[in-house]
Structure 1
Amino acid sequence: MLEHTPQVRSAPPIDAALDAALAACADEPIRVPGAIQPHGLLLSLAGQPLRIQQVSANCAGASGLDCDALLGMLLSSLIPAHQAQLIEQAYAQGPSADGDPLRVSFGEADYSAALHRHEHLLIIELEPFVQPAQEQSRTITRVLRNLQAASTLETLFDISVHEIQALTGYDRVIIYRFEPEGHGKVVAQALTGSLPSYSGLNFPASDIPAQARALYRLNWIRVIPDATYVPVPLVPVLRPDTGQPLDLSFSTLRSVSPVHCEYLKNMGVQSAMSISLLEDGELWGLITCSHPAPLLVPREYRDACALIGQLLSVKICAIFASQIQQGREGKVLMLGQLAEAMASADREILAGLATRADLLQSLPQATGVAVLIDDDLQLFGSCPTPVQVRVLHQWIRDVGLTRKKLNERTQGLQGLGLFHSAALQQEHPPAAAYRDVASGVIAFVLPKPVDNAVIWFRPQLTSSMQWSGNPADHLHPGSVGAASQRLHPRQSFDMWEEQVVGIAQPWSRGDLYAAEDIRRSALEHDLERQVRREQEAVRMRDELVAVVSHDLRNPMSIIIMQCGMMQRWAVSDSSLENRHIRRALGTIENATTRINSLLEDLLDTARIEAGRYQLSRQPLSVTGLLEETCALLVTLTNAKQIELNCTAADGLVIDADPERIFQVLSNLVGNAIKFTPQGGTIDIDVIADGGDVLFKVADNGIGIPAQNLPYIFQRYWSAKEGNPRGNGLGLYISQGIVAAHGGRLWAHSDPGCGSVFTFSVPAHSGPVTANERVVLKQSGTTARLAQSISGKLERQQLENRATRAGLLNELNHRVKNTLATVQAIASLTASNSDSLATFRQSFDARLLALSQAHDALARAEWLSSELEDLIAQLQRTDGGTRRILLLGDPVTLEPRTSLSLSMVFHELMANAVQHGALSALHSSPGGHITLTATLNAATSPRTLKLHWLEADGPPVAATTFEGFGFRLIRRSIERELNGTAQVRFAATGLSWCMTLPWLEKADGDS
């Protein structure tokens, strides 16, 4: 015996050759070896009737035919017809073809034939038939009865190994259990003969690689009668139909890895058999049988051993479940007390656990426990330091839990929300610093924004492990430079003892499930508190919304009423100041109405979210509902000259709340009005659809982009294009109202073509009375809409009467002004004309200028005109040569200013054409005029500066004499527009600088 006592065992270094050999071993094709063991025959068949595709090479000797001759033959040509018929029937049954062996005559001998289907092939394995002994059934019955009577694992294991040894004749039979760390441990043994004892020894995990363990999960039994066998190849090597190797995963004759045969040889074993033990579908362990000489156990006895393995697996699961249940039942009282402590905690749930630290620590039989609640860390019993615990908690939260969920494949513990380990430093190396108190750990973390966790600790157990050979030397590659670098098993299986540190007493399943019960209870209590807090928050929110809505709606209604009254008082006064006041009052009224509607929407939203939307259902005639609805809504569509059409099938009656259905319709129509252009169409159509009535609101507006459709019914979502004032609640509330009626609301839209919103309402199922009609209550949405329409109509009528009176006064005023202007033009023109022809020419030109100014203002509805339009008129006077350049700020002129400036520009233009820059006789072809407009908003009042500059004209001589044109310019600027005008006779050309008060888009002339 060798002794090795390192402080902490770690994996030995792996050189490049060993690394390559390990990789080659992991990739070894053990499922498709292309060969079988020689104690049987194999045939693969397919088709109907069955034809042979592949055979093992030893079929030639057994059948007396060459392998090439066997390929393609019908099965019925090789074995008796009745046997072939049984096999054909088994193949036709599909995957259920796997069944009891059949006795088959092949060549000159009888065989026991095992059948299984795989990848559309029927694989037949033949072994020499052995007549079962008459006592076999009695032996199997006795074995099963003894196993059934066992009540403990130790008794169960002992009975199993001795009964299997008696049944098969193997010298050594052991039960080999896989430990959580991956290695195997011998927990039971039956031994006769010369083979050494392995009782209590541990075997490295690498003795059975992962791909071999996967095959053990698929097959209950594997047998090697003689480990020194020469493999029998398949003919052909590859499947003819696919060109791939034949998968022998479920074959009992499958040739095994040469590494494993060498492993058996080094162990002193020539014959071996393994039986799988499963727990919840996972490989729990193996029953391994060994013999120093070749030994072939008949198939019938092997099947009995497989049945023992299956029963043993069931008993293992049952005993484990019973032990777990007993452990959990023993902890029920503690779990109840801890749950009560959490429920009664004032603040955080885990604070209640800290008040019962003694129970919490003893629940999984821990020596210490830590309770972490954000910045508060409480330690009880033997624990690492607070700093070490916090670092450990962060690692468990960020790394350990995730790694455990991904990698845990043993003991059926998948799904537990715990981190647990009996060798913490192997997973978290910094834990080696405190392994004396915390080599074993169970922990859970609550999913909250603050840190909440419970961590249990167990100290390390300084002990020894006995291995079958040195675990550091269990594998080695071939010699460097050799033809093969494949992996070779170890040579020695002598007991090797190792002192281990950093490993605690393993946590039992009862311990883990108790910790999971506490975690689940903590989550449930925490969730219950969160639900109560959320319910209370919803209740308080609803109360707040109701109070705020009620308290604000009254003053809002008063403001709306006062605004309406003030607008009616102000409408009779058409002065400019009162028009500004009316405009401001309208803005206040609109904003207040919007706030009032928003308060109602918020209240409706709170009711919908709380599931307390109240309805007053009654049988409603759809025709009557549409009549009242359209009568109110048509007023809204008139503003944009939109055509509103309402149609409904005869006799439709629904069970609905009239005011709420009207609220839905008004919202859908209101949205359609927003997004439908001037002169568009909106159609409301109602039809029957089974037990429902469908309301469709269609428009030919801009439509809804496809990417927006999934969001339009979400609260607070609103398309910004064309809807800058939308609050995103209308469709959400409408959907809630329809859902409260038991219907649904949906939309379809084609961008650029329009949208269709459809909602369903249950049809009235009772008797229909003849005089059913709809009465919309004067409250809520209906009242708000009706009040708004009524007030607007009343004010509109008053404003229309005032406007007509104002227009008559304005017309009288403008006609008088125009006649006075014409009279002055005629008088002054006559006084400055030396002949009738001259008078007529000048008078006609000035009247034309005045007429063009009036035309421009008429086109702008006497609201305003643009300076550039006046200059465009001058361009036409110049024959369209465009020698007048307008620079500076864009200017919008109120009517009086526009008329006066039109006359001024006419006089300036006439002078330029006759004597100045545009004169054909005195100026060069490049003569031109530049008019620069400058707005000065910094002065009070704001001013408009116009600079008229002629260039490339005849020389200009200064003069003090002012003709009629100059006097008309000054009179218009200074008297009519209250501005100033200065003229400069520069060598480069005439220059006029005019400054006047600027009113942009004024309401009209006074």
Structure 2
Amino acid sequence: MTPQDKQAFEELLANCADEPIRFPGAIQPHGLLLTLSEPALEIIQVSANVESLLGRPALALIGQPLQSLIGDEHAAQVRQTLQQPTLSDSAPLLFRLNDMAFEGLLHRHKGVLILELEIHVENFQPRNVAGSETHLGRMLQRLQGATTLQALYDISVKEIQAMTGYDRVLIYRFEEEGHGQVIAEASDPSMEVFNGLFFPASDIPEQARELYRTNWLRIIPDAAYEPVPLVPKLRPDTQTPLDLSFATLRSVSPIHCQYMKNMGVLSSMSISLLKGDKLWGLISCGNREPLHVPHELRAACQTIGQVLSLQISAMEALEVSRQREAKVDALAMLNQAMIDSPQNVFDGLANQPEVLMALTGAGGIAIIEDKQLHRYGNCPEPDEIRALHKWLQDSGEAVFSSHHLASVYPPAAHYQQVASGVLAMSLPKPVDNGVLWFRPEVKENINWSGDPRKPLDLENSDAGLRLRPRTSFEIWKVEMAGISTKWSHGDLFAANDLRRSALENDLARQVRREQEAVRARDELVAVVSHDLRNPMTVISMLCGMMQKAFSSDGPHTSRRISTAIDTMQQAAGRMNTLLEDLLDTSKIDAGRYTITPQKLDVGQMFEEAQSLLAPLAIDKDISISFEADADLSIHGDPERLFQVLSNLIGNAIKFTPRLGTVGVRAKSVGDEIVFTVRDSGEGIPKENLPHVFDRYWTVKDGNPTGTGLGLYITQGIVEAHGGRIVAESEPGQGSEFRFTVPRLD
């Protein structure tokens, strides 16, 4: 092929894929087609063969009422049918025109009413059938009684062949890669056998598959037909070709007709098999001689296709369920191994290599946990596994599977003998981890019907260069290198379920470790607090005794010693406060913070707070006020709530400059008492406000002794009372802290 021919070939292939099969502008000659306006039912378009079949010139009919062609009685039948809510459920209308019997089929599509008058097949005698309705019922019973998918397929092809009389009936299933395989066949003994053969994806272009998905049945009674054009060619209302996607008489691609002839058949019928809304496969019927199967029998075949689709989906789901059930015992054993492992979940799996390999029928496994790599069975080398694992991690898939690894990860070509297929799972952890199952290369001979690398060819014609459908349907044996057996639904389920169990066990271990760490910390804090409290008390007492012996009014040496003693007392006091805060924090973290509630009078609480805290404000010339609604009572722990008030008021005084103000309020709002502490200080920066209740958060400036635990503990006390606390602040305008306590009625 010359470079010019090759370029032309590529262009023709592209044109073939884009061929307007929905808008052929013509029909097959075994009937008439009309497009009609509504509600007037005037003829907008008509097929040109109306003259040969009914003796009426096509152009003369355009704009005429329908009854002018088919008569008032038949037109009335059409109008009556149009009253039904769903035209697709309507039975064909039986017309007799020009001494010929027709079946009228109506449908609406893309804003136009289409009437097809298909020539009725009289005295059709299918093989071995006493009555189609009786046979259909018997066949449906047989389909429902099938116990395996293959039995289901075999029953379908045999029964449809018997009903219709086609020389060959086969079921063609689409594979994930796009090509298809014949999985069942019923043929005349003289026909070439296609069962088991693979057909390239290019044999059925993508747009044809989409048409099969939306339209259950297609028929070509005679592939040697001459297409009948529509008159006029374009829809008068839109000046676009008529969409014939759902027309029984739709003309098909001439390439497809030639393809049929090359296969040795002149008549065909195909029935779609759907799984959900996806095209699963086809029932394909072919006959060496022209064969026009009547509409009634085609409708029965379509019903079979719909029932078969449901049965296939149900039985495939049942098969998936069986595959999953077969994995349950092994998964339970592996789960227990992960639970029993003293180190981590992957060490537990590494102790069960045989079970892990048998789980998915793998030839080898690799288990990774940080620097550790366990290998069992036939595996790639450690460096190769590490590189593959990194690539898998970069892909971002929690569970990955491929039966042709080298096609997506080229380095795998170096070890495809042991790892043409891989199934892998990993956990979201900061260290490398995962399980990789490997399957070896299975060199198998795939029987292709024709060369999959050359589905179409070129030929010269009067119109120039054009595509010629494949003429050779010889069996091509193509060796599938670098491919393993496919991972089943059960294998993928097992990998996902094992990952789920590993994740749960790993998280449980983390929780236990954190709980143990918290418990150890609590014990340490308790011991340290207990062991330090007594010495700190002794230090405070001794400082008091020494203070009496060294007066600050005495000589210089005495004054220095007195100052040092004051510093020691202050330090001891801060240490005692810190110990108490650490104990409270530990209890809050562990969810063991307890209170001893009793009835409290809010006004009395404020009096006590004012007497103890007002002197601190007076020392800084700060005006402090306490206001509370009359007769407010709460149910709370007096010591802990006073701790909250003293902490908030103390902070307000600390961070308010001289001559500032601090206001403390309490008022009833619904079922709660709302306490407010507001100051006129510098306020809290906006970026710090969300963190004021965090542990160890503290303002450094002007707060040299702060531990960062006061507000955290304050929040814990308020929440232990069933309340909540919030902070608001505007830099330069001061801060406001509000907390709530349930009201006691």
- Whole-angstrom CA distance in 2 between matches of 1:743 and 1:82: 77
Tell me, yes or no, if the aligned pair for 1:714 and 1:732 is still in contact at 8 Å.
Answer: yes
Give the SS at the match of 1:471.
Answer: coil
**Whole-angstrom distance in 2 between the partners of 1:344 and 1:719:** 48
2:303 paired residue number: 307
Q: Map Cα deviations across residues 488-535 of structure 1 (whole Å, 9 max, x no partner).
A: 754433322223332223333333433444333333333322222222
Change (3 A) 1:578 1:376: same
CA contact (8 A) 1:224 1:273 kept: yes
Shift of 1:591: 5.7
Matches within 5 A, 1:19-98: 33=23, 37=27, 58=47, 90=85
Which of 355, 360, 364 lines up with 2:351 in the alignment? 355
Q: Which residue of 2 aligns with 1:465?
A: 446
> What's the CA shift string for 1:600-657, capped at 9, x where partnerless?
4443333333222212233333333333334434334334433333333334333333
1:273 to 1:601, Cα distance in 2 relative to 1, 3 A? farther
Give the one of 646, 649, 652 matched to 2:632. 652
2:489 paired residue number? 509
Instruction: State whether residues 238 and 246 of structure 1, in contact with CA within 8 Å, keep that contact through their aligned partners in structure 2.
Output: no
What is aligned with 1:186?
A: 182
> Equivalences for 1:808-827 in 2 at 5 Å?
none
The 8 Å contact of residues 34 and 234 in structure 1, kept in 2 or not, is answered as no
Contact 2:269 2:286 in 1 (8 A): yes
2:659 corresponds to 1:679: yes
Structure 2 counterparts to residues 114-153 of structure 1, below 5 A: 114=107, 124-128=113-117, 135-153=131-149
Letter in 2 for 1:456: W
Q: For 1:442, which of 423, 431, 436 is the aligned residue?
A: 423
Cα distance in structure 2, aligned partners of 1:234 and 1:558? 113
Larger RCO, structures 1/2 (Cα 8 Å, 6+ apart): 2
1:761-776 residue pairs with structure 2 within 5 A? 761-764=741-744
Cα distance change on mapping 1:170 and 1:40 into 2, 3 Å: farther
Return the alpha-carbon distance in structure 1 between the equivalents of residues 25 and 220 of structure 2.
14
- In the TM superposition, 1:789-828 aligns within 5 A as none
Aligned counterpart, 1:318: 314
Matched, 1:745 2:722: no
Match of 1:101 among 79, 90, 95: 90
Q: Is the 8 A contact 2:42 2:64 kept in 1?
A: no
Match of 2:401 in 1: 420
C-alpha separation in 2, matches of 1:604 and 1:515: 46
How many equivalent pairs are there?
714
2:511 corresponds to: 531
Structure 2: which 5+ runs fail to align? Answer: 51-55, 67-71, 125-129
Q: Secondary structure at the match of 1:603?
A: helix
1:346 aligns to what?
Answer: 342
- Map Cα deviations across residues 374-429 of structure 1 (whole Å, 9 max, x no partner): 44433333333334333333333334xx4xx5xxxxxxxxxxx4333333333333
Correspondences of 1:201-240 after superposition (within 5 Å) = 201-210=197-206, 212-213=208-209, 216-222=212-218, 229=227, 232=230
The whole-number CA distance in structure 1 between the counterparts of 2:688 and 2:459 is 68
Q: List per-residue Cα deviations over 1:658-677 (Å, max 9, x = no partner).
A: 33333333343344445544
Q: Name which of 110, 113, 134 aligns with 2:106.
A: 113
Aligned pair in 2 of structure 1 residues 325, 754: CA closer, same or farther (>3 Å)? same
Query: TM-score, normalising length from structure 2?
Result: 0.79
Q: Does the CA contact (< 8 Å) of 2:729 and 2:735 recur in 1?
A: yes
Alignment-derived partner of residue 410 in structure 2: 429
Task: Return the offset for 1:202.
Answer: 0.4
From the superposition, tell whether residues 518 and 604 of structure 1 become closer, same or farther in structure 2 (CA, over 3 Å).
same
Q: 2: CA distance between counterparts of 1:582 and 1:85? A: 115
Residues 357-376 of structure 1 correspond to what in structure 2 (within 5 A)?
357-376=353-372
Measure how far apart 1:444 and its partner are: 2.5
Task: Write the distance in 2 (CA, Å) between the matches of 1:54 and 1:646.
Answer: 93
Contact 2:623 2:662 in 1 (8 A): yes
Amino acid at match of 1:762: P
Compared with structure 1, are the counterparts of its residues 237 and 43 closer, same or farther at alpha carbon in structure 2 (3 Å cutoff)? closer
Shift of 1:464: 1.1
Rg larger for: 1
What is the Cα deviation at residue 186 of structure 1? Answer: 0.7
Q: Is the 8 Å Cα contact of residues 64 and 107 (structure 1) preserved in structure 2?
A: no
Residue identity opposite 1:504 in structure 2: S
Q: Structure 1 residues 637, 562: CA separation in 2 closer, same or farther (over 3 Å shift)? A: farther
Letter of the 1:111 counterpart? G
Q: What is the distance in 2 between the residues matched to 1:182 and 1:690? A: 68
Letter of the aligned partner of 2:106 in structure 1? Answer: A
Structure 1 pair 103/341, CA: closer, same or farther in 2 (3 Å)?
A: same
> Following the alignment from structure 1 to structure 2, what is the Cα–Cα distance between the partners of residues 626 and 42?
94
Matched ranges for 1:658-669 at <5 A: 658-669=638-649
Distance 1:131 1:257, change over 3 A: closer
Kindly report the root-mean-square deviation, in angstroms, between the aligned alpha carbons of the 2 structures.
Answer: 4.8
Secondary structure class of the residue paired with 1:682? strand
Alignment match of 1:154 (pick from 134, 150, 153):
150
The question of whether the paired residues in 1 share the 8 Å contact of 2:628 and 2:667 is answered with yes
Name the CA shift for 1:711/1:131 in 2 (closer, same or farther; >3 Å): farther
The residue that corresponds to 1:200 in the other structure is 196
Please state how far the C-alpha of 1:469 moved relative to its aligned partner: 0.8
Q: Which amino acid counterpart does residue 352 of structure 2 have in structure 1?
A: R
Q: Distance in 2 between matches of 1:387 and 1:468?
A: 42
Cα distance between partner residues in 2 of 1:299 and 1:42: 18
For the residue of structure 2 that corresponds to 1:310, the secondary structure is helix
Deviations 1:217-250 (A, max 9, x none): 555445556666457599876986xx99998877
- In the alignment, residue 725 of structure 2 is paired with which amino acid? L
| Alignment gaps of 5+ in structure 1 | 1-13, 72-76, 91-96, 406-416, 769-1006
| Identity across matched positions, percent | 49
Cα gap change, 1:291 to 1:147, in 2 (>3 Å): same
Q: Give the conservation status (yes or no) of the 8 Å contact 2:44–2:236.
A: no
Report the equivalent of 1:613: 593
Q: Could you tell me how far 1:184 is from its partner in structure 2?
A: 1.2
Distance 1:37 1:83, change over 3 A: closer
Superimposed CA distance per residue, residues 533-563 of structure 1 (whole angstroms, 9 cap, x where no aligned partner): 2221221122223333444455556666766
After superposition, what is the alpha-carbon deviation per residue over 1:246-267, rounded to whole angstroms, capped at 9, x for unaligned?
Answer: 9887777777667656655654
The answer to whether the 8 Å contact 2:40/2:65 transfers is: no
Rounded to whole Å, the distance in 1 between the matches of 2:579 and 2:710 is 12
TM-score, normalised via structure 1 length: 0.60
Give the CA deviation at 1:168.
4.5
Deviations 1:840-885 (A, max 9, x none): xxxxxxxxxxxxxxxxxxxxxxxxxxxxxxxxxxxxxxxxxxxxxx
Among 169, 173, 176, which residue is 1:173 paired with?
A: 169
Letter aligned with residue 100 of structure 1: D
Maintained 8 Å contact 1:50/1:88: no
Q: Report the Cα offset of residue 595 of structure 1.
A: 4.9
| Superposed displacement of residue 179, structure 1 | 2.7
